């Protein structure tokens, strides 16, 4: 799973990806990542959370996991 933040989503509440954006992410993943590291799911977030040392916080994302019914 990969989390992505869209620049335009900061101005609106629209957190959906277009087909072109999905294809672009897939092409970049295929070009730069080995097969086992390519994301199977994408999570669109409004903005990333950071720790006090300015690292991206992944704990909440791991705890949430994913639910295909959502």
CA nearest to 25, candidates 8, 1, 61: 1
Segment 18-61, tens digit of pLDDT = 899 889 999 999 999 999 999 888 888 888 888 889 888 887 77
Identify the residue with better confidence: 52 or 7: 52
Rounded CA-CA distance 64/59 in Å is 9
Domain layout of the chain by residue ranges = 2-64
Rounded CA-CA distance 48/31 in Å is 24
Average pLDDT, stretch 7-24? 76
Question: 0.95 cut: is pTM over it?
Answer: no
- Please tell me the predicted confidence (pLDDT) of residue 29: 94
Rounded CA-CA distance 43/37 in Å is 16
């Amino acid at each position: 799973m990969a989390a992505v933040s869209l620049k335009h989503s900061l101005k609106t509440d629209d957190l959906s990806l277009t087909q072109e954006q999905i294809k672009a992410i897939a092409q970049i993943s295929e070009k730069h990542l080995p097969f086992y590291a390519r994301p199977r799911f994408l999570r669109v977030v409004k903005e990333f959370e950071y720790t006090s040392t300015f690292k991206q916080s992944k704990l909440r994302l791991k705890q949430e996991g994913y639910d295909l019914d959502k």
